C-alpha cells in the first residue's frame, strides 16, 4: 500500500511575513551532535571555554555543549542586535562583556549565524585582547554569500542561502526564537 502524502509546505507567520520550513529538528540535532563530537576530539585534555553570543546563540549553545563529552566551561557576551530589521546595520557594539578570565584559555566563540561576518570579526578581535591560548569559532549557520569580511569559521553547522531565517534561537524583532526548527523567508 502506498501512502499518499500531500506535498504540504510547512509555513509560519512572524511579524506579518511568511517563513517556510528549512531545517527540521532531526537535521539540526544530527549536525549539532557531529559538531560536538568534532570539538570533543579536537580539545581532548584542554578544557575549552565556550563563549555564547547572546541572545541568538543560547539554544544552539545549550545543545552543542551537551554534545561535547570532555570538560568544558561556558560564558556569554552580548552584542547590539538588528532590532526589528532584517538587514545588518553594519555597526557592532558590545552590550555585555564576558565575566570569566580567559587569559591562557582555549576559547570557542559560539554564534547562531554569521551573515556579514562583522559581529564575528569584532568578537574575535575582542577575545584576542584578553590573550587566550587559542580562539576558534563555531556557528550553526553561515550565509556565505553575504559575508563581506575575512573571518575564519572553524565549525559550521550549515551553509545557507542569503535569506532571513528564524527559529532555534534566531529572531525577527525578538519573535520566533522558540520555534524548534529553522524557517526561511518565503519569497513566493
Ligand atoms: P553579522 O554581523 O552580519 O554576521 O550578523 C550576525 C548577527 O546578526 C547574528 O548573530 C544574528 O543575531 C543576526 N542575524 C543575521 N542574519 C540573521 C537572520 O537571518 N535571522 C536572524 N538573525 C540574523
Q: Quick check: 137 and 149 in contact, CB under 8 A?
A: no
pLDDT for the residue numbered 2: 46
Question: Is the CB–ligand 1 distance for residue 144 below 6 Å?
Answer: no
Give me the chain's average pLDDT, please.
91
- The predicted model gives 147-165 an average pLDDT of 96
pLDDT of 88 reads 66
Distance of CA 15 to the CA centre of its chain: 22
Length of the chain equals: 188
By most ligand atoms within 8 Å of CB, the mutation choice from 79, 90, 112 for ligand 1 is 112
pLDDT at residue 6 greater than cutoff 60 = no
Q: What are the sequence ranges of the domains in the chain?
A: 25-80+91-185
109 phi-psi bin (left φ>0, alpha ψ -120 to 50, beta other) = beta
Residue 156 has pLDDT above 90, yes or no: yes
The reported pLDDT for the residue numbered 84 is 62
Distance 163 CA to ligand 1 centre (A): 11
Q: CA 179, 185, 186: angle at the middle one, nearest 5? A: 115
Question: Alpha helices, DSSP H only, in the chain?
Answer: 25-42, 58-66, 118-129
pLDDT in tens, 36-83: 999 999 999 999 999 999 999 999 999 999 999 999 999 999 987 656
- Average pLDDT of the segment spanning 124-142: 96
- Report the C-alpha dihedral over residues 179, 5, 164, 185, rounded to 10 degrees: -110
pLDDT at 79 (0 to 100):
86
Pocket test residue of 17, 78, 88 for ligand 1, highest count of atoms within 8 A of CB: 88
Q: Spelled out in words, what is the top-level CATH class assigned to the domain 25-80+91-185? A: alpha beta
Model pLDDT for residues 78-103, shown as the tens digit of each residue: 987 656 666 666 667 777 788 779 99
Residue % of the chain over a pLDDT of 90: 81
C-alpha of residue 115 to centroid of ligand 1, in Å = 5
Q: Which residue, chain included where needed, has cell 552580548?
A: 78
| Degrees, nearest 5: CA angle 92-64-36 | 120
Give yes or no for residue 56 CB within 6 A of ligand 1: yes
Evaluate: CB of 176 within 6 angstroms of ligand 1: no
Amino acid at each position: 500500500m502506498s501512502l499518499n502524502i500531500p506535498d504540504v509546505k510547512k509555513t509560519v507567520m512572524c511579524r506579518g511575513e511568511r517563513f517556510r520550513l528549512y531545517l527540521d529538528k532531526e537535521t539540526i540535532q544530527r549536525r549539532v551532535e557531529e559538531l560536538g563530537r568534532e570539538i570533543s576530539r579536537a580539545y581532548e585534555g584542554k578544557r575549552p571555554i565556550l563563549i555564547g553570543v547572546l541572545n541568538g546563540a543560547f539554544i544552539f549553545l545549550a545543545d552543542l555543549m551537551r554534545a561535547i563529552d570532555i570538560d568544558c566551561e561556558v560564558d556569554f557576551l552580548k552584542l547590539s542586535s538588528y532590532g526589528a530589521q532584517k538587514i545588518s546595520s553594519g555597526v557592532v557594539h558590545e552590550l555585555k562583556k564576558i565575566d570569566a578570565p580567559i587569559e591562557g584559555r582555549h576559547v570557542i566563540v559560539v554564534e547562531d549565524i554569521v551573515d556579514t561576518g562583522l559581529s564575528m570579526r569584532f568578537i574575535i578581535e575582542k577575545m584576542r585582547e584578553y590573550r587566550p591560548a587559542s580562539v576558534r569559532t563555531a556557528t550553526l549557520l553561515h550565509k556565505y554569500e553575504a559575508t563581506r569580511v575575512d573571518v575564519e569559521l572553524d565549525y559550521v553547522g550549515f551553509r545557507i542561502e542569503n535569506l532571513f531565517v528564524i527559529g532555534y534561537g534566531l529572531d525577527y524583532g525578538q519573535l520566533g526564537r522558540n520555534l524548534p526548527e529553522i524557517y526561511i523567508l518565503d519569497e513566493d
